[in-house]
Structure 1
Amino acid sequence: MKLNLATLAILLIFAVLFISHAAGLPWTPAHIIGMAIAAPALLLLIVARLQLGGAFSLQAKASTLVTTGLYARIRNPIYVFGALFLAGIIIWTSRPWLLLIFVILIPMQILRSRKESKVLEEKFGPAYVAYKQKTWF
């Protein structure tokens, strides 16, 4: 529970600081599009983290198979919404060269998700295989 609250506090502090900074800038098309992507992605990232609860860990380990909420449709919503949030921020900054971050981030997330999938399949067997067939990424 402590890790859940700490993560939420960090994300909320970041959101408040970002919004306070963004409020003083002109609303260009890039700012509007970036914010339209980043804001809901951040909200869904927070929801995904809260729904994962105590099953969250930095290392791939299988304590609980979370299959409800956002996890009912997406196996790795933290990765998906984290990437969308980052894309929104990159668009918001109007620095498309920062998209090179995805050249590193996306393969890392794919590798990590495969490792996590293997650990979960070893622990939960057929239940995880069935869950995997019903969900995306």
Structure 2
Amino acid sequence: MHGGSAYGLWMLVILNSAIFIFIAFSFTTPKTKTDWRSLGAFSAFIVALFTEMYGFPLTIYFLSGWLAENYPGIDFLSHDNGHLLHTLLGLEGNAHWDPLHIASNVLIILGFFLLSAAWSVLHKAQQTHSLATSGWYARCRHPQYIAFILIMFGFLLQWPTLPTLVMFPVLVVVYVRLAKREEKMAIKEFGDEYLRYMEATPAWIPKISVDKKQTI
């Protein structure tokens, strides 16, 4: 028997989705069309995630035959067993304290920290119509998109679903394209200054150390 209240908790779907979208919104305070597109893509992922986590477990129903055959005796409609990686990998104990879930929480927290720090620098630069090259922007050119990717990957570690597994690589491509579009706009606006910044700063893999005397 599984608990009847494990799913169908639509108020939790709405509440959790609203909380994480609001946090992302408050950290990014989107102003441009690109800002809204990046936040919108992230919001779609969050809604899909919590819909399956608390609303309707589409992935579990879709895989129910395979799960029942390979994991007999396990009630996958129990909320704890919705942590599919915990069960499929044969991990024991509370799923909320396994290595995957801990790593997930670390990635999510780091992602939101990076998102806040990166957008603070970016918006200050936008207000002064200057190039953002300090803080995390001194380490990589697209820290805000790296942050969104870290958060989404963190959620995938603790609660993978078929929709979010499909959405994740698609959204990564979306962010890469948005980043390239932003760079074209930055080259038009800042010219050689941005080209020098591109030469000195990696796009996606942050530099471990930054030379404070480095000039762009």
TM-score (norm 1): 0.71
Structure whose alpha-carbon radius of gyration is higher? 2
- What is the number of residues matched between the two proteins? 113
CA gap 1:99/1:135 in 2 versus in 1, 3 angstroms: farther
State how far apart, in whole Å, the 1-side matches of 2:26 and 2:151 are: 16
**SS of corresponding position for 1:66:** coil
Identify the match of residue 107 of structure 1 among 173, 187, 207: 173
CA RMSD of the aligned region, Å? 2.5
Deviation at 1:30, TM superposition (A): 2.2
Deviation of 1:135 (Å): 1.3
Q: Compare relative contact order (CA 8 Å, sep 6+) and give the higher one, 1 or 2.
A: 1
| 8 Å CA contact 1:87, 1:99 repeated in 2 | no
* Separation of aligned partners in 2, 1:8 and 1:109: 17
Q: TM-score, normalised by structure 2?
A: 0.47
What's 2:156 paired with? Answer: 90
Question: Counterpart in 1 of 2:13?
Answer: none
Query: Which residues of 2 match residues 43-62 of structure 1 at below 5 A?
Result: 43-55=113-125
SS at match of 1:30: helix
Structure 1, unmatched stretches of 5+, are 1-5, 11-24, 57-62
The counterpart of 1:64, out of the listed 120, 130, 144, is: 130
> Contact conserved, 1:79 with 1:109, CA < 8 A, in 2?
yes
Structure 2 residue aligned with 1:42? 112
Specify which of 97, 113, 137 is matched with residue 27 of structure 1. 97
Q: Structure 1, residues 58-116: CA drift from partner, whole Å, max 9, x if none?
A: xxxxx3311011001111100011101110111122x1532322221111111111111
Report the structure, 1 or 2, having the larger helix content: 1
**Which 10-residue stretch deviates more, 69-78 or 37-46?**
37-46
